[in-house]
């Protein structure tokens, strides 16, 4: 009896110490400060002061955007430096703060500002195989595969818009930096598909037009897509009718674009009836 009682006391003691240890660990993992009082306040009428004021009267948009990109990179690098410092000295509270700020920065919307039409060269010509351009094209296609973009006659299927934006950036980089690459027509068409997905229709139209100017033989259904944008989104029906007819004569020769041709033939008939006052 005495032995059983002694074992019971020892068991209760062990359980008590286990609970104390677990409670200590739990409390130690908690952050004693939320950090909410340390968030930088926004004062009424607050103005931003900078180390150097840029004279915008003699500065191009490209220079301003380039400086913005550099400032973004410097800001993120500063946060990463703080993260490494607080991790090294063991300041877990501030380590969590800086990680929150990093996460907020990474998820906030950031625009490129230099839009597609401003990237397209005025006189590009696909004439040469350039290794750097080929590499960019492969990277862009890989990002497209990761995005899950499956373009078709109707709306494409997509699972990752960020990967699609990365693909678009590579296509535009190829076009801008290698205007003589034999991949610029491919890149222009594929970028146009991405712009169309994002509903930037006037930009997509320009890319499709550029694609079939660089590739008049119709390797891609660029005329079909351009005509559909003119027809359904920009409501320039007369231009759409003419381009549908061109597309049928060029890209429509290929069996792989049979579905596009059938769609264009139907819209040609409908637009012609509309022009004659016989349809809606």
Q: What pLDDT does 183 receive?
A: 94
89-103 average pLDDT score: 90
What token pair was written down for 18? 């286990």
pLDDT of 114 strictly over 50: yes
- Predicted confidence (pLDDT) at residue 25 exceeds the cutoff of 60: no
- Whether 242 has a pLDDT exceeding 80, the answer reads yes
Closest CA to 172 of 199, 216, 130, 139: 139
Between 68 and 48, name the one with better pLDDT.
68
Phi (first) and psi of residue 119, to 5 degrees: -95, -35
Write down the mean pLDDT value for the chain. Answer: 81
Is residue 28 scored above 60 in pLDDT? no
**Helical packing angle, 184-197 and 131-147, nearest 10°:** 30
Residue 23 pLDDT greater than 70, yes or no: no
- pLDDT value of residue 37: 59
String of DSSP letters for 89-138: HT-HHHHHHHHHHHHHHHHS-----S-GGGTS-TT----B--HHHHHHHH
pLDDT value for 24 = 47
Q: Give residue 67's pLDDT.
A: 79
Instruction: Provide the percentage of residues in the chain whose pLDDT is more than 70.
Output: 72
More confident residue, 5 or 235: 235
- Mean of pLDDT values over 118-143: 85
pLDDT of res. 168: 93
45 has pLDDT over 80? no
The pTM is what?
A: 0.69
Q: Which pLDDT does position 26 carry in this prediction?
A: 47
pLDDT for the residue 188:
94
pLDDT for res 213: 92
How does residue 167 score in pLDDT terms, banded at 50, 70 and 90?
very high
Query: pLDDT, tens digit, for every residue of 248-276?
Result: 999 999 999 999 999 999 999 999 998 77
Burial of residue 9, with CB atoms counted within 10 A of its CB: 0-12 exposed, 13-18 middle, 19 or more buried: exposed
Judge whether 247 and 220 are in contact, CB under 8 Å. Answer: no
Residue-wise DSSP of 32-49:
S--SGGGSPP--TT----
**Which fold does the domain 122-275 belong to in CATH?**
1.25.40
Buried b vs exposed e over 240-259: b needs ≥16 C-beta within 10 Å? Answer: bbebbbbbbebbbeeeebee
């Amino acid at each position: 009896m005495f032995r059983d009682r002694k074992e019971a006391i020892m068991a209760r003691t062990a359980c008590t110490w286990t609970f104390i240890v677990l409670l200590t660990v739990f409390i130690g993992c908690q952050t004693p400060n939320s950090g909410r009082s340390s968030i930088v306040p926004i004062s009424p009428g607050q103005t931003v002061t900078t180390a150097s004021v840029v004279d915008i009267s003699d500065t191009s948009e490209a220079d301003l955007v380039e400086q913005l990109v550099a400032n973004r990179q410097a800001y993120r690098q500063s946060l990463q430096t703080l993260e490494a410092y607080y991790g090294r000295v063991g300041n877990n509270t501030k380590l969590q703060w800086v990680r929150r700020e990093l996460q907020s920065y990474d998820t906030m919307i950031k625009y490129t500002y230099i839009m597609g039409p401003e990237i397209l060269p005025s006189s590009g010509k696909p004439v040469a195989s350039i290794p750097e351009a080929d590499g960019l094209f492969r990277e862009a296609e890989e990002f497209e595969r990761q995005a899950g973009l499956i373009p078709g006659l109707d709306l494409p299927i997509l699972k990752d818009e960020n990967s699609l934006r990365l693909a678009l950036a590579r296509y535009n980089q190829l076009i801008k930096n290698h205007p003589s690459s034999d991949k610029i027509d491919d890149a222009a068409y594929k970028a146009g598909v991405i712009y169309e997905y994002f509903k930037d229709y006037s930009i997509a139209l320009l890319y499709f037009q550029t694609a079939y100017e660089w590739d008049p033989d119709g390797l891609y259904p660029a005329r079909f897509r351009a005509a559909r944008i003119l027809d359904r989104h920009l409501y320039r029906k007369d231009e759409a009718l003419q381009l549908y007819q061109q597309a049928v004569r060029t890209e429509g020769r290929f069996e792989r674009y049979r579905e596009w041709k059938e769609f264009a033939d139907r819209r040609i008939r409908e637009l012609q009836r509309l022009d004659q006052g016989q349809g809606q």
